[in-house]
């Protein structure tokens, strides 16, 4: 489990896709994304154009254009580049005529990052080239920030499960020896510890409770009387070397920690610590924390106190992290919106002069930036939910209108896969509910989106019916997709969960859609359930307590307004803003550029504060 905690998620497919799109746009022969190593003299790539093992291409920056780029922040060189940097073998290998590069601060390491390209053909000038690279660099930086957040959430969840294993073992029924053995076995999953021996003091005698791994003689060279003497002289929270003070760098060390209850010493934990254990670090709270739980296993009221304290600390920690995430929305979304905006401008400015390939490349930028924006939005939305930012705003809304909008939104994607997608209202066409329309629509939208995404072929149906027995309206989304294995059903509403890693590679997403749906369902006072058979499909059921409004008084609530064609909307906007001065307050240079472009396009005159 600890090895999994130290692993990093596989976002490299996104970086590879971005670098391929960049290569097509810039028509470059070589492109690299990397970060400086700890020495600051070598670049460690994590994505290289058309290379499967980028880290194998780690290179020294001395005498290369990358060295100058990292010093200046950006660099554009054209003509005689190989003579200017004669020691750079990449320039000879690719016969490049031009080089361009920009830097960014890598959130994962805190060190400088680099995005650089080599070109034989120059498609645009220096300013445009650096601008495009800068936009891609911001996208890469945002992806690394999202990756860092995901790592943090995954590690935190796994550590909490580890603590839960220890607590669960000590709370089980059965002999104390068995519970202690299981609890200390769970503790061995921490790399700081290699072995445990737990003893109990009983009327002056030392009674062994458990040794983990079984048969291990931790501190066997020290007698029971000596363990009793050392533990009895220590305070409640103490840790001491069993054989005296050890010098730094000792490979394996043996320590003793007493088990206290009030003023009584109930026993001791003797443990061997690996070289990664540091007495000065806070991780030494682990044996002391377990000491309290061991004492609480004997004295039940102590357990209640420790449990309550742990729950409050975990809750407070989660709230702080959630509030932090809730404040990051602007900083994370702005660069992605800028990428999307510049991609739109690039497509509109070029107009009919773009080839089909170039249009596909621009669509690739939009698609990947949109996916990244969706991924960041999911992480931030989960943070908002945990921080209790969302409040349900209940008002009359039409069930039919919501369902029809959701189905219409995913019809094109369904048709593209040959999936029959439809809504079955079963007499609920006139139903008007008093609930939060946006939350209800988001729940159904996520469920239908998943149904289309995970159904290779067949059908997906959104059904609405009444459950008179429960006094509820029931929304069902059924599909004939890949289904979910039974052993994973109980985890499907946990953050960052997908069916398995092979599906994670096939289908985009962080696995936050269903957890968000589950949380929103609770906000509305309902519940979200699932039943599924692997290979046959899934049925997600959202049961919402029925607070149906009077159908005549609320008639038409939530129904779509008369449609207006896009050309008419644009004409009205242009007439409204023609020769109008618009004050723009924005600190981002990229966003100011976008505002200037779009406002002038509709005839307005932007004024920047």
Query: What is the tens place of the pLDDT at every residue in 77-98?
Result: 988 788 888 888 777 777 778 8
Task: Answer yes or no: is pLDDT of 62 > 80.
Answer: yes
Q: Are residues 441 and 539 in the same domain?
A: yes
Cis amide linkage into residue 339, ω under 30° from 0: no
Residue 351 pLDDT level (bands cut at 50, 70, 90): low
Nearest to 594 by CA among 333, 372, 346, 328: 346
Domain holding 595, by residue range, is 566-608
Looking at the structure, tell me whether residues 533 and 584 fall in a common domain. Answer: no
Residues 473 and 589 in one domain: no
Residues 540 and 572 in one domain: no
CATH of the domain at 495: 3.30.565.10
Is 427 in the same domain as 515? yes
Q: Do 491 and 594 share a domain, yes or no?
A: no
The whole-number pLDDT of residue 84 equals 86
| 485 lies in the same domain as 514 | yes
Shared domain for 404 and 507, answered yes or no, is: yes
Q: Is the pLDDT of residue 339 over 90?
A: no
Q: Write down the pLDDT at residue 550.
A: 41
Query: What is the C-alpha to C-alpha distance for residues 45 and 56, in angstroms, rounded to an integer?
Result: 8
| Number of neighbours of residue 421 by Cβ within 10 angstroms | 23
Q: Report the pLDDT averaged over residues 318-343.
A: 71
In this predicted structure, what is the pLDDT of residue 15?
Answer: 85
Q: What is the pLDDT of residues 191-217, one digit of tens each?
A: 778 888 888 887 777 878 888 888 777
3-class DSSP state for residue 434? strand
Residue 480 domain flag? yes
Same domain, 524 and 600: no
Note whether residue 427 is domain-resident. yes
Top-confidence range, 20-29, 89-98, 372-381, 396-405: 396-405
Give yes or no for residue 5 having a pLDDT over 50. Answer: no
Q: Is residue 428 part of a domain?
A: yes
In the beta sheet, which residues pair with residue 45? 34
Contacts for 281-284 with beta carbons within 8 Å, 24 or more apart? 283/190, 283/192, 284/239
Residue 144 lies inside a defined structural domain of this protein: no
In this structure, is residue 389 part of a structural domain?
no
pLDDT at 476: 95
CB-side exposure of 479: number of CA atoms within 13 Å? 25
Residue 464 located in a structural domain: yes
Among 16-20, 366-370, 407-411, which stretch is predicted with the lowest mean pLDDT?
366-370
414-463 confidence digits (pLDDT tens): 998 899 999 998 788 889 999 999 889 989 988 998 899 889 889 999 99
Average pLDDT on 536-552 reads 76
Same domain for 511 and 586, yes or no, is: no
Co-location of 403 and 475 in the same domain: yes
Taking the whole predicted model, whether its pTM rises above 0.75 is answered as: no
The total of other beta-carbon atoms located within 10 Å of residue 522's CB is 12
**Please, what is the Cα angle at 501 between 159 and 522, to 5 degrees?**
60
For residue 24, the tally of other CB atoms under 10 A from its CB is 16
Please indicate, yes or no, if residue 409 is contained in any of the structural domains. Answer: yes
Work out how many domains the chain is built from and give that number: 2
Query: 581 and 475, same structural domain?
Result: no
Question: Residue 484 has what DSSP assignment?
Answer: -
| Gyration radius of the chain over CA positions | 31
| pLDDT per position as a tens digit, 254-282 | 888 888 877 788 888 888 887 767 665 44
Is residue 257 included in any domain, yes or no? no
| Residue 484 token pair | 């979910």
- Nearest Cα to 83, choosing from 102, 96, 66? 96
Give the end of a domain, one of 545, 574, 597.
545
């Amino acid at each position: 489990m600890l090895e999994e905690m130290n692993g990093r998620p596989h976002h490299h497919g996104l970086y590879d896709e971005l670098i391929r799109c960049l290569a097509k746009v810039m028509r470059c022969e070589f492109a690299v994304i990397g970060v400086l190593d700890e020495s600051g003299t070598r670049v460690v790539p994590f994505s290289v154009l058309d290379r499967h093992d980028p880290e194998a291409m780690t290179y020294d920056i001395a005498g290369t254009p990358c060295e100058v780029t990292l010093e200046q922040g950006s660099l554009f060189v054209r003509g005689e580049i190989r003579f200017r940097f004669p020691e750079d073998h990449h320039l000879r290998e690719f016969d490049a005529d031009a080089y361009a590069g920009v830097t960014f601060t890598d959130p994962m390491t805190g060190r400088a990052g680099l995005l650089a390209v080599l070109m034989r053909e120059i498609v645009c000038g220096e300013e445009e080239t650096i601008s495009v690279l800068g936009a891609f660099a911001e996208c890469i930086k945002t992806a690394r920030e999202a990756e860092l957040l995901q790592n943090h959430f995954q590690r935190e969840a796994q550590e909490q499960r580890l603590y839960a294993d220890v607590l669960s073992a000590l709370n089980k029924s059965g002999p104390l020896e068995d519970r202690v053995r299981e609890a200390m076995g769970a503790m061995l999953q921490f790399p700081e510890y290699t072995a445990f021996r737990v003893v109990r003091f009983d009327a002056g005698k030392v009674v062994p409770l458990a040794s983990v791994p079984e048969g291990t003689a931790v501190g066997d060279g020290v007698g029971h009387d000596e363990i009793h003497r050392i533990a009895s002289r220590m305070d409640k929270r103490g840790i001491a070397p069993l054989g005296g003070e050890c010098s730094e760098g000792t490979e394996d060390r043996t320590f003793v920690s007493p088990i206290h209850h009030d003023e009584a010493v109930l026993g001791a934990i003797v443990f061997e610590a690996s070289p990664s254990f540091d007495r000065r670090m806070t991780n030494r709270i682990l044996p002391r924390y377990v000491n309290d739980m061991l004492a609480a296993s004997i004295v039940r009221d102590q357990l209640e106190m420790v449990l309550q304290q742990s729950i409050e600390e975990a809750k407070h920690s989660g709230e702080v992290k959630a509030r932090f995430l809730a404040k990051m929305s602007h900083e994370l979304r702005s660069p992605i919106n800028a990428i999307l905006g510049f991609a739109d401008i690039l497509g509109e400015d070029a107009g009919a002069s773009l080839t089909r390939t170039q249009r596909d490349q621009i669509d690739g930028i939009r698609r990947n930036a949109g996916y990244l924006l969706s991924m960041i939005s999911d992480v931030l939305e989960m943070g908002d939910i945990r921080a209790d930012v969302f409040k349900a705003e209940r008002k009359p809304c039409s069930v039919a209108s919501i369902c029809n909008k959701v189905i219409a939104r995913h019809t094109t994607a369904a048709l593209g896969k040959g999936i029959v997608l439809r809504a079955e209202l079963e007499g609920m066409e006139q139903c008007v509910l008093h609930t939060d329309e946006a939350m209800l629509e988001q729940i159904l939208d996520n469920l239908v989106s998943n149904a289309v995404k995970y159904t290779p072929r067949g059908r997906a149906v959104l059904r609405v019916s009444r459950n008179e027995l429960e006094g509820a309206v029931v929304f069902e989304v059924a599909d004939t997709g890949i289904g979910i294995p039974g052993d994973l059903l109980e985890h499907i509403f946990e953050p960052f969960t997908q069916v398995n890693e092979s599906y994670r590679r096939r289908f985009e997403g962080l696995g936050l859609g269903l957890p968000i749906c589950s949380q929103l369902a609770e906000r509305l006072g309902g519940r979200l359930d699932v039943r599924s058979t692997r290979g046959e499909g899934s049925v997600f059921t959202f049961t919402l307590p029925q607070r149906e409004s009077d159908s005549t008084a609320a008639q038409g609530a939530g129904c779509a307004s008369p449609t207006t064609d896009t050309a008419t909307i644009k004409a009205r906007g242009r007439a409204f803003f023609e020769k109008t001065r618009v004050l723009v307050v924005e600190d981002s240079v990229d966003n100011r550029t976008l505002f200037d472009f779009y406002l002038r396009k509709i005839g307005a005159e932007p004024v920047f504060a």
